[in-house]
Amino acid sequence: MQDGYRMPGEFEPHQGCIMIFPERPDSWQYGAYAARKAFVEIAKVIADSEQVTVCASASQYDNARAALPAHIRVVEMSSNDSWARDYAPTFVKNNAGELRGVDWGFNAWGGLYDGLYFPWDKDNQMARKLCDLFEKDVYDKRDFILEGGSIHVDGQGTCIVTDPCLLGKGRNPQMTKKEIEETLCRYLGVSVVIWLPCGIYNDETNEHVDNICAFTAPGQVVLAWTEDRSDVQYEMSTACLETLEQSRDAAGRKLKVHKLPLPKPVTITKEECEGLDFCDGEPTRTPGERLAASYVNFYIANKNVVMPGFGDAMDKLARETLQELFPDRRVIQIYARDILIGGGNIHCITQQIPAQGC
């Protein structure tokens, strides 16, 4: 950024984390009871090492306050759903350790072209409200549509994104790839953007990067991986591996790519679908539909890494793999099927606030 701000890597120290209490009945099955339990469990783990702020609607405020321990802050704030990663601010920091927030435009993952719900106006107001709440100056970049889950940075000048998301017709169709890249460079303080050809199969966000690939440290990434050549994901992950292996980061390093196994394909059941309300008269899921399950969708807290589990045979290997990559943090796995049904996972429902100061 021209005035010296950059988005820190998620593995750098945090001041806190923002989450939003879930309630939307076409996203979260059976009135969101199970999803709320999972959110509470995740918030408690994160709050072991950083200040967690949970935004709750007026109607859920009492419930959230009662369900969450006193050291977790609950503030009343309206939203359309609960994806803090995507519409809480992207915080950037300068060399003096000062923070500002970037307020991107949000249109529910594709607006009227291929977005997932309407309206999204309350979600789109959240970044500004949160910057006001945390007393941070704001870069108003609402003329550029971007979700926080569609970018991952190393804090040292490199950003990873996916083609189908950033180049999708539902976001910034008037811009060229070069112009999109220049916008990322300017507002995230990066100089290199790595474009992955795809994300996770059937990921309704147009394949957000945060479900397929994440930095674990500068120069190191995890990539969601399957050895099953008959799985459509095999070619997708292979294509991403080739791109990553051919890339250099902003420091000129080749990236070390760690393969993180995927669970066996996870599909939604008839009973789960029956627990979801309709959205605009249409079902949001159909029985047997494959969900975009991936262990890459984890959150790096100051002392823990909070990762999803699916009750799958790969849960253990995925946890052990991440534990080796984060020797100074405790990796905690939380059963996250009820979040996955909503269309995302632990990374998608959290947004870090970097620590102030150097």
- Residues of this chain that interact with ligand KQY (CB under 6 A) are 27, 83, 85-86, 116, 149, 204-205, 208, 342-344, 348
As given in the structure block, the two tokens for residue 193 are 């953007």
* CB-CB contact of 326 with 217 (8 Å): no
Q: Which is nearer to ligand KQY, 147 or 154 (CB)?
A: 147
The 3-state DSSP composition of the chain as helix, strand, coil percent (nearest 5) reads 30, 25, 45
With contact defined as beta carbons under 8 Å apart, do 14 and 301 qualify? yes
Smaller CB separation from ligand KQY, 5 or 83? 83
CA distance 248 to 251: 8
Q: Which is nearer to ligand KQY, 94 or 202 (CB)?
A: 202
Token pair for residue 79?
């939203």
C-beta of 11 vs 28, nearer to ligand KQY = 28
Query: Measured from the CB of residue 204, what is the shortest distance to ligand KQY in angstroms?
Result: 6
Integer Rg of the chain from CA: 19
CB of 26 to ligand KQY, least distance (A): 8
Give the nearest distance from C-beta 348 to ligand KQY in angstroms: 4
**Choice between 155 and 342, CB closer to ligand KQY:** 342
User: Tell me, what DSSP letter sits at residue 77?
Assistant: -
Name the token pair of 254. Answer: 């080749």
What gap in Å lies between CA 110 and CA 104, rounded to an integer? Answer: 14
User: What distance in Å separates the CA atoms of residue 241 and residue 228, rounded to the nearest whole number?
Assistant: 15
* Closer residue to ligand KQY in complex, CB, 29/205: 205
Torsion of CA 38, 53, 214, 292, to 10 degrees: 30
Nearest to 139 by CA among 181, 106, 180, 103: 103
Query: Which residues are part of the catalytic machinery?
Result: 348
Length of the chain counted residue by residue: 358
Least Å from the CB of residue 279 to ligand KQY? 8
Order the strands of the 192-196 sheet from edge to edge. Answer: 152-153, 158-162, 192-196
Q: Which amino acid is at 128?
A: R
Nearest to 163 by CA among 174, 177, 142: 177
Closest residue to ligand KQY, judged by C-beta, is 344
347: DSSP letter: G
Our CB check for ligand KQY shows the closer of 32 and 116 to be 116
Residues 348, 83 contacting (CB under 8 angstroms): yes
